[in-house]
Amino acid sequence: MKKRKVPMRKDLLTNTMQPKKDLVRIVINKENEVSVDPTGKKPGRGAYVSLEPDKITEAQKSKILDRSLGTKIDDSFYQELFEYVDHQKARKELFGDK
């Protein structure tokens, strides 16, 4: 069986290349609305972050997403992102790598 190529993306928080399925995409659209993109297909500028809740709190303190996406990001979005990442990490640990 032929081995498939694994798509890699750069994690904004750790500055390392990781498999796309191990990251979550944050997207900003033309109306400057920032949202979590679980499908990876929403239109707009995207940035990938790892599924590590502690890295999300570090990103909030350093404002790295603000600089990368070029807009001011509310603390409520960081809270939403933290909850999403925490949930996804728990799912991955519970159900394994599929």
Q: Where are the domains of the chain?
A: 8-95
Of 23, 44, 32, the residue nearest 70 (C-alpha): 32
Span 11-24, pLDDT tens digits = 998 899 999 988 99
The residue among 26, 95, 92, 90 whose CA lies nearest residue 56 is 26
Give the domain 8-95 fold: Hypothetical Cytosolic Protein; Chain: A; (3.30.1230)
pLDDT in tens, 54-82: 999 998 999 999 999 999 999 999 999 99
Q: Which of these, 65, 84, 76, 73, lies nearest to 33 by C-alpha position?
A: 73
Which pTM value belongs to this model? 0.86
Q: Residue 56: how many CA atoms within 13 Å on its side-chain side?
A: 25
Distance CA 36, CA 97 (A): 21
